[in-house]
Each structure stands twice: as C-alpha cells, then as structure tokens.
Amino acid sequence: MKILVLGDVVGERTLPFLQKTLWEKRRALGADLVIANGENVCDIHGLSPKAAEALFAFGVDFITSGNHIFDRRDAHAFLNDTNAVIRPCNYPATCPGEGSRVITSAEGWRVLVVNVAGSVFMEALGDPFRAVELELERARRTYDLAVLDIHAEATSEKLALARYFDGRFAAIFGTHTHVQTADEQILPNGTGYITDVGMTGPVNSILGVTPTDVIEKMRTHMPHRFTVAQGDIAANGALFDIDPVTARTRCVTRIKF
C-alpha cells in the first residue's frame, strides 16, 4: 500500500494547481491514499467546508490540520459532520471534531489517521504523548495500520514522539514548519518517518506568505497583515510504501511536483 502525504496546503490559489496536477501525480506514483494538511488553505488561516470539498474533489482522501483549524467559525460544525477531516487530538474534548478517524482505502485497508499538535514553542495543549496513546487505545482493533501527523514547531519534539511510537504506526510525518526536511528514514521498529513534509503553495514566498509582509513584520515588530504570495505553486510531500503483510513501511520517498 502506498500513502502520499502532502505538506500544508497554503492559500486558496493553490487549489487550481492541485486540480490540474494531483490526480495525475497520484496515478503516476500508484498512491492508494492521499492525506493533506489543510489548516492554511483559506488565505493562511483556517479551512472552510468549501475548500475541504475542493481538496476531496481534486484527489485528497483525508485532511489533517493543526493550530489554525478553529480560525474559521464555519469549520466548527463541519468538523463534527465529516469523517475525513480531523483536528489535533490534544485539544480539549469539548472542542469540535475528533483527533483521529479510520478511513478505508479502495483496497479495503482500514487506516487510522491520528493528528497531534506539539507543545514546544506552540500553544499550551494537552500532553501529546498521552493524547496519542489515548487515540490508539480508543481505536484498538478497528484498523489495520495507523499513520500520525505531528503538527509541531520543534524538530526534537517530533523526533521524540516518533521514537516513542516507533512500531505502533506504519508512518509518522511532521507538518507546520512548511519546510521539507531531508531526514526520511525507517525507524528501528519499522515506522517510516520524516520530520516535515513541507508545504504545498507559492514557491516565491516565506512559508507561503508574500516576502515583503514577513520582512516588514520582522523589521518593525508592528502588526502587519499577511497575504498569500503570488507566482508559481509547488507541492511537497512524502510517499510511504507500506508492506501489506507486516503493515510496516518499506520505503519513504520525498516528493516534489
């Protein structure tokens, strides 16, 4: 089984790019399932129901998120109504949505997708280690393999979570920093891992944002509105090739198109 993961999708202007390219790339790679982080689709902050439906139509099967998922109020009810969009599991249980869901691939594989937010240099949330443990316990015996999106700032925290859960997930990948890392690997107990899958969005940008906006903010320390950058779009991600017998990753390949 092959799972294609796309890094944070930034800006609604990225959607037409995915409409043109994703289905073809999915077929070329032989991907059975496509997962994308969608918390930045709506002009950097949030995900609307309309944008989520566009992602599904353009070739994404499942959407993970992060610390911006509640930025739009129209997403709150949507999170409760859909089985294909999740928020980090270490938010309070009273928040809309769920921290994990099981999706069935066309071949019949039941895949548990878990989403967790980091606690280092991020908003103070529940213990990510314990939160993921609880999701695995809650979903026990309902899935064939599991994957984990760690939406976090610190590389050390992502690596610590990955090492701790090595062997319990087929694949673990990081999101949030919008910069693809070059450390794709198979951990000792068979989990495929990459610290960050990168960004799907404007190339001539600073993490998807118009460069002058970010520079002005950093130089003056004054409030400044961020806008999605113009110009060419590119997608970054990773392809996990998972053994159908052992449910462990055989190969992790960085992807860019």
* Residues labelled catalytic: 68
Question: Which spans in 14-115 are helix H?
Answer: 15-29, 49-57, 74-81
Beta pairing partners, 256 = 236
DSSP strand pairing (236-242 vs 249-256): antiparallel
DSSP 8-class letter at 28: H
DSSP 8-class letter at 137: H
User: Which residue is associated with the tokens 């460069």?
Assistant: 211
Give all strands (DSSP E) within the chain, no chain letters: 2-6, 8-9, 33-37, 62-64, 100-104, 110-117, 145-151, 171-175, 185-186, 192-194, 199-202, 233-234, 236-242, 249-256
d(CA 90, CA 117): 7
Question: Which spans in 183-245 are helix H?
Answer: 211-220
